[in-house]
Structure 1
Amino acid sequence: NLGVNWDVSKNFNLNTIVNYLGEQYYVFGGNENKTDDYTLVNLNARYKLNSNFELFGGINNVLDTKVEKVLGSNVGSFFFAGFKAHF
């Protein structure tokens, strides 16, 4: 894993995270299987409106990497955004 955090200004922050996962082996139905290795890139941003309020957002799996997981499924790229209040 590798992360880069950049404080663009006092109130604005950008963050990039790169995650690498090597191939994995698992047994399912009595058969040994292997998943491929993959790399995921995530981008996040945060903007502090003031000492109590903050906006944030990002994109996970920016490159829309196809991921074969042992359990679960790949959701592909997805966007998120939110608002935080600190009291």
Structure 2
Amino acid sequence: MKYTDAKGEKDWAITLKEQLTVTVQELKDQNLISGGIYEQLQLAGTTVSRLYGLPKIHKSGIPPRPILDMATSPYHLVAHWPVDVLEPVRTEID
């Protein structure tokens, strides 16, 4: 199979960035988040997540395990924000 570039199709990373930007803007417009949090959640450059292999050094003949590095994903900051918001609730439950 030969690789062909789909002409006229938007890159999925750009589409995702646009969707996240619209969602964060709506949260700000509804006063659900402050201007500071809005700025923090803005995507500044979208990169494709890296996939690399982590070898099992204690087992021979086993192929590397695939590891997906999500730290460079456009989801990372947006997904981490609720964790920070919900931390006080989690500590009260413990």
TM-score (normalised: structure 1): 0.30
Structure 1 or 2, whichever has the larger Rg, is 2
Bigger share in helix: 2
User: Which structure's residues are more often strand, by fraction?
Assistant: 1
- TM-score under structure 2 normalisation? 0.28
